[in-house]
A and B are shown apart, each in its own frame.
Chain A
């Protein structure tokens, strides 16, 4: 872990323009300015399809910005760094590897000896409650269990930056609340900075220190809200607090407008 207390992630006027299959340019994000401190949990909310995920791929180094700069611990991002963990929206466990082997994948890719990798992987499987399932294949698990495997596989690498792209959106409501609590617990044991992308405002307030509202696509930062709810939090309980409702109303006023714009555009496209 770096000793200085500079920001963990900095986006300076970052933007990304893709070439669409038909050859035209498509700007996913533009003029992104955002600073995320070390150990901070930041949630990014915005209308569907506005380019939230692109922000994550820029930070992860999977994609390079076409304009501006992305800095991680003060250094420009060049390719995938070893400090970054990424939990994807879709299942990204390797179906041909057993649960244990899936969790071992990260350390093995990074050159950790087999026995040590196995020990670390077992410890993390134990922590996410899948100790008894290490010999199973992903298709033999439920959606929630597979997500736990993904979490263990990410945390086993000790990421200092944790990027999450709507990780729980495919889960049912109850499993989702449970996983959110578990995420907070796991995160509490590290000092990782988290960027959590979601379209669910409730989820973002319940989890984060800061909520970033994005505009309708091409997305840019609209406003950043500080969430002053005390920790440790229980996702189900914090939702009922008056302060939560107050914050929700405040942010929704801002977010709702962008959602409306996106919807109207959608309607115009259909017409």
Chain B
């Protein structure tokens, strides 16, 4: 390298550095402004929708008895929070429903993952059970809820059962597909490196199927809540589903909506927890795919 060139490259480097320093805060500002704008627009949409609802209801363009209005829903929610519901405290109802949904979800997920991986790995088993699973899947599973109430009574068991049947299938199909679509190279490599069938299943198939399985976990927790609520709605002694049924029975439209709002909040919190766990587990993934 000749000495004449050196200062020149140094200057070029410095210039590049300078523009880099100048631009990045501007970019960051623009990005911040955009985030702010999006948030503001979101709030605006919410305010508009709620405001319109309230307005139409108060001016009786829509029937306030049937459609209720946001202020009444808020009052109802607040009453439930501060004074409890007719069935006991609100927290107790939420906890009841959540417990049923969680248990149903866990059982459904475990069964779905185990069977999905097993059938994905063992073609013989898949050939035998495949048609039956398709038949079971085609049953509208919500109609099983009344049967479960007859079988298992008004307690939590019937709600857990209906959550399980809703959760099982999406998880099963994803785990099955995940096990089927494992990169053949990875399996071949593992076998060359000395892994037997069991090791291939646990060290290659299951890790590579986890991203498939996680996709289904998001959807299926929603299903578990649906299962629990529908079960409660049909017959229960406690829970948010019963709250909905009772509100409906007393022509309390605000109560139905308030229960829905509470449910939505619960589902969102659960979803947030799941996303958090997923981020921790999938540290090995390139960030572009991780989203």
Contact = CB atoms under 8 A, between A and B. Distances in A.
Most chain A C-beta atoms within 10 Å of own C-beta, residue among B193, B195, B199, B203:
B193
Contact of B185 (A80, A92, A98, A139): A92
A97 B210 CA distance: 14
B189 A109 contact: no
A105 B188 contact: no
B286 interface: yes
A90 B204 CA distance: 16
B185 A88 contact: yes
B284 interface: yes
Contacts of A137: 283-284
Most chain B C-beta atoms within 10 Å of own C-beta, residue among A82, A106, A153:
A106
B194 interface: yes
Nearest to A60: B192
Contacts of B195: 105, 109
B134 to A, nearest CB: 22
A62 B185 contact: no
B155 interface: no
Contact of B188 (A88, A97, A110, A139): A88
A15 interface: no
B189 A139 contact: no
A109 B196 CA distance: 8
A204 interface: no
Contacts of A109: 190, 193-196, 199, 203
A38 B208 CA distance: 37
Interface residues of A, number: 25
B193 A139 contact: no
Contact of B208 (A60, A62, A96, A110): A96
B48 interface: no
Contacts of A86: 188-189, 192
Chain A binding surface, main DSSP class: loop
Interface residues of B, number: 22
A95 to B, nearest CB: 6
B189 A92 contact: yes
A248 B183 CA distance: 37
B146 interface: no
A85 interface: yes
Interface string B167-205: 000000000000000010110111111111001000110
B34 interface: no
Interface string B201-235: 00110011010000000000000000000000000
A105 B193 contact: yes
Nearest to B204: A94
Given A94-B204, A96-B208, A97-B284, A82 B194 contact: yes
A94 B192 contact: no
A232 B258 CA distance: 80
A157 interface: yes
Nearest to A62: B188
A205 interface: no
Interface in B95-118: none
B58 interface: no
A84 interface: yes
A157 B207 CA distance: 23
Contacts of B196: 109
Nearest to B210: A96
Given A88-B185, A90-B185, A109-B199, A95 B192 contact: no
26 contacts: A62-B188, A62-B192, A80-B191, A80-B194, A86-B189, A86-B192, A88-B188, A90-B185, A91-B185, A92-B183, A92-B189, A94-B186, A95-B208, A95-B285, A96-B208, A96-B210, A97-B284, A105-B203, A106-B193, A109-B194, A109-B199, A137-B284, A138-B284, A139-B285, A139-B286, A157-B193
Interface of A: 60, 62, 80, 82, 84-86, 88, 90-92, 94-98, 105-106, 109-110, 137-139, 153, 157
Interface of B: 183, 185-186, 188-196, 199, 203-204, 207-208, 210, 283-286
Given A92-B185, A109-B195, A139-B285, 9 more contacts: A84-B192, A88-B185, A92-B186, A92-B188, A94-B189, A94-B207, A97-B284, A106-B193, A139-B286
